[in-house]
Structure 1
Amino acid sequence: MENSSSDDDSDTLSEGSDLQLFSEHEFSSDTDSDDDTQQTESSMEPDSQQTEATDDDFWSYDLHPVDIAPFTEQYLHINDNQAQAPAGSPNYDRLHKIRPLIDMTRGNFQKFYKPGKCQSIDEGMIRYKGHHYAQQYTPGKPIKRGLKIWMRCEQSGYTNDYRVYLGKHDSMCGPSLGERVVKHLCKPLKWKGHHVFFDRYFTSIPLLQTLESYGVYGCGTIMANRKGFPSQLKNPHLPERGDAEQMQHNNLVATVWNDAKPVHIASTTSDPLGDGPAQRRKTIVHYHTSLSHFDLLTI
């Protein structure tokens, strides 16, 4: 029985987005048979006359060009190279070939999952050992060579937004790179009361003040020699692990907390009068004599 809605379905697909869905009977290879007759022989089965020809007339010394059909399949192609602006112009995009893919993924990340209260900004590495102008080398990281991605993520690890770092060719490259990365990734969070966390590579006193002026609260470890951090807290006398000392300016709180060594923190999210536990990771090493190996357990 024929499907009376087939015409309507085809119109719907033609008017839809670039990402169309096909059922099994609608998506088939262009080499499939045009009718429903079941074939008893493979379409690649050679002609019996070709395999059985063994006389001298089968071969000839008369040579001529071989008749070969052109190759029609294409490589993965995302963007139109002809639309790329010339090198050196303000509109030149070094990621032009994959820009639609970047825009599509970033848009969907933000469309289908609203960011929670707490966000984290850090770098991620895509392992890559080839040659590329944007390749980064970070000897202290698990992935030492690859492409760097600035990321804003949920506590669950979900990526809300990201930006590919182009090294010396990146428009953000230069002094205060970490500060500019945070500002860029926090633009969609203005006036929503989010709390954003980062490490000392990004943290500065002016950054925390700027974020707060747009309704975004920040917290991060900070290098004690950063401009604006109170000099009284750079080398404090904290005899016991867990001892802390704090100073405050409006909502901006500077803290030094003694762990194995002093840890300096700047924040606009912390209540200096609050009383809460500090959680730290502890690694336990088990040695199995029968198996002759170590197990590391992080709690």
Structure 2
Amino acid sequence: MGIRKPKPEKVPFRGHVSFKQYLPSKPDKYGMKIWWICDSKTSYPLFGIPYLRKEGHNRAENLAYNVVNQLCEPYSRSNRNVTFDNYFTSIDIAKSLAQNGLTIVGTLRKNKTCIPPNFQPK
């Protein structure tokens, strides 16, 4: 069984919380962003983390790395494959998940700093 890490889902919400998002391109312009890990066959959400913008009083750092590691933690040493989009794909995440017995599939953005210069397009 594989697991899939899709883009964050915006849940429509009009109440008062500090982490409400405004996305003008969406039909429901205000909502909460939630990072999900889903089953690849059924697309059933297995676990989610709300995007809060901050960790305590500090702005979130290494967001993609921390989100992927948190969501994949319950599946460590299960020899599963994790698939996600280019926002989450990096060499650091691949190494971290490999140490935890998981493999990845994802598109690597060409402007990532982890790509060696001889792999860059001319």
Task: Please report the TM-score for the alignment, with normalisation by the length of structure 1.
Answer: 0.37
Distance apart, 1:171 and its partner CA: 8.4
Query: Match for 1:219: what amino acid?
Result: V
Distance apart, 1:196 and its partner CA: 0.4
The answer as to 2:26 corresponding to 1:118 is no
Map 1:143-292 to 2 at 5 A: 143-155=28-40, 156-169=42-55, 173-235=59-121
1:138 and 1:121 mapped to 2: Cα distance? 21
1:184 and 1:192 mapped to 2: Cα distance? 15
**CA gap 1:144/1:229 in 2 versus in 1, 3 angstroms:** farther
Query: Match for 1:232: what amino acid?
Result: N
Query: Match for 2:105: what amino acid?
Result: C
1:143 and 1:231 mapped to 2: Cα distance? 42
Percent of aligned positions with the same letter in both sequences? 31
Aligned to 2:16: 131
Does the 8 Å contact 1:172/1:180 carry over to 2?
no
1:172 and 1:189 mapped to 2: Cα distance? 28
**CA gap 1:216/1:139 in 2 versus in 1, 3 angstroms:** farther
Does the 8 Å contact 1:135/1:145 carry over to 2?
yes
Distance apart, 1:170 and its partner CA: 5.8
Structure with higher Rg: it is 1
Counterpart of 1:203 in 2: which secondary structure?
coil
> Per residue, is there more strand in 1 or in 2?
2
1:172 and 1:125 mapped to 2: Cα distance? 23
**CA gap 1:191/1:160 in 2 versus in 1, 3 angstroms:** same
1:203 and 1:171 mapped to 2: Cα distance? 27
**CA gap 1:141/1:214 in 2 versus in 1, 3 angstroms:** farther
Does the 8 Å contact 2:53/2:60 carry over to 1?
no
1:192 and 1:172 mapped to 2: Cα distance? 33
Query: Match for 1:120: what amino acid?
Result: R
**Any gaps of 5 or more consecutive residues in structure 2?**
none
**Any gaps of 5 or more consecutive residues in structure 1?**
1-116, 237-299
Distance apart, 1:172 and its partner CA: 9.1
Question: What is the RMSD of the two structures over their aligned residues, measured on CA atoms?
Answer: 2.3
Could you list the per-position Cα deviations for residues 11-70 of structure 1 after superposition, in whole angstroms to 9, with x for gaps in the alignment? xxxxxxxxxxxxxxxxxxxxxxxxxxxxxxxxxxxxxxxxxxxxxxxxxxxxxxxxxxxx
Task: Please report the TM-score for the alignment, with normalisation by the length of structure 2.
Answer: 0.83
Larger relative CO (CA 8 A, sep 6+): 1 or 2? 2
